[in-house]
Amino acid sequence: MLKQLLTILQDETIYQVEDIANKLGTSTAMVVAMLGMLTRQGYLGEVEQACTSACKGCALAKQCKVASRTDAHIWVMNAR
């Protein structure tokens, strides 16, 4: 399932954890656990954010729902 998650994340679309869980047919808790595992393994990096200013200038700001959520996390693919 980790390979499936990496495949989903490679398309550079913005997803919410719930969307990924639905695509994989699993729970949001499992997706969060897998994101954590991939982060520890170096496949993903979690972006530190301060939504009051971080979204300014971001090309994806119009698609992103992070600014409206205080519990949001952003992960990016690392070059491997």
3-15: per-residue pLDDT in tens? 999 999 888 777 8
- DSSP, collapsed to helix, strand or coil, labels residue 72 as coil
First to last CA, the chain: 19
**Among candidates 51, 77, 75, 79, which has minimal Cα distance to 65?**
51
15 or 54: whose pLDDT is higher? Answer: 15
CATH number where 42 lies: 1.10.10
14 or 22: whose pLDDT is higher? Answer: 22
Whether residue 60 is predicted with pLDDT greater than 90 in this model: the reply is no
Which structural domain range is residue 49 located in?
2-77
Structure tokens at 24: 């994989």
The burial of 75, by beta-carbon neighbours within 10 Å (0-12 exposed, 13-18 middle, 19 or more buried), is given as: middle
- pTM for this structure? 0.73
The number of distinct structural domains making up the chain is: 1
The pLDDT > 90 percentage for the chain reads 45
The DSSP call for residue 39 is H
Q: What is the pLDDT of residues 29-43, one digit of tens each?
A: 999 999 999 999 999
